[in-house]
Amino acid sequence: MNVEDIKNILIIGSGTMGQQIGLLFAANGYDVVLYDISDDILKNAYSRIVKLSGSMVKAGKYSKSDMENALTRIRLTTSPEKAAENADLINESAPENPELKGKIFGMFHQLCKPETVFTTNTSSLLPSMFAQASGRPERLCALHFHDVLLTNVVDVMPHPGTSPEIVELVKAFAEKNNLLPIVLNKEHSGYVFNFMFMAFLSSALTLAQREVAPISEIDNAWTGVMHTKSGPFAIMDAIGLDTVCTITTARAEKTGDKQGKANALFLKEYVNAGKLGIKSGQGFYTYK
């Protein structure tokens, strides 16, 4: 398969990142299928995609007509069979569970054509954790996105069994979509930016968990010195506290770090209370 052969994109998982990635590819002229497990989930996702398209226009990334055309190229389905039809490349944003991801990829391995490339947008796992279960480990790698409103940077990360040709194909595909691919030589938890970024968030969480200063003051310290719009806790609200909690917990369990575990418990109090950040209307801060 050449990069020009990629015309149909399947997005697995219609959460925040699935919505962003699907709209991005549709805006770039690809036919996009958004797959999830229920019609209600997909209906809500499409409503948020429409709102996101307006944000893309306001940010000056695309024209209004570009976004209107993009919305017509997005199809929703709960049927794996229909989702797999003609898929040239899959990007998966299912929950961060290696068994679940392996099961999903294994199912689509049976349904997709042999040429289909499998990519995962996992933020905290390694592709090798579910590569064999995918059924086509040599055609699987990570294609990890950040907030598409903020940056065009993506991570391309192979696992030990990924074909070098697939890495080059995914890199070329990213470049064709005006993305900046950061190609890793090998698997690494947190990729490049996220590895550095999580250390930043971890230090802020440690200050709050130890009650060194109020959350708002920790944010003010960062924004005041660095002249940024958001501090670490506002940023975590934007990411989603459930996602930050999952990553923090996984890192703490892997390293055995006591402070990391304490930070995870600190986050879980918010998550258990349904305070997930901007997407739920309340996190560390309250949103309209």
Q: Could you give all domains of the chain from N- to C-terminal order, each with its CATH number?
A: 3-183 (3.40.50.720), 193-280 (1.10.1040.10)
Question: Measured in whole angstroms, how far is the alpha carbon of residue 19 from the centre of its chain?
Answer: 10
**HEC states along 267-288?**
HHHHHHCCCCEHHHCECCCECC
Rounded Cα gap, residues 111 and 35, in angstroms: 14
Q: What are phi and psi of 231, to 5 degrees?
A: -95, 180
Rounded Cα gap, residues 278 and 234, in angstroms: 9
Rounded Cα gap, residues 137 and 128, in angstroms: 8
| DSSP string computed for 112-175 | S-TTPEEEE--SSS-GGGTTGGGS-GGGEEEEEE--TTT--EEEEEE-TT--HHHHHHHHHHHH
What residues have CB less than 8 Å from 269, skipping those under 6 apart? Answer: none
Rounded Cα gap, residues 24 and 149, in angstroms: 10
pLDDT tens for the chain, 288 residues long, are 899 999 999 999 999 999 999 999 999 999 999 999 999 999 999 999 999 999 999 999 999 999 999 999 999 999 999 999 999 999 999 998 999 999 999 999 999 999 999 999 998 899 999 999 999 999 999 999 999 998 999 999 999 999 999 999 999 999 999 999 999 999 998 899 989 999 999 999 999 999 999 999 999 999 999 999 999 999 999 989 998 998 899 889 988 999 999 999 999 999 999 999 999 999 999 998
Q: Which residue has the tokens 């695309």?
A: 62
Measured CA to CA in angstroms, residue 119 lies from 88, 113, 138, 207 at distances of 11, 15, 11, 36
Question: Could you tell me the pTM of the whole model?
Answer: 0.84
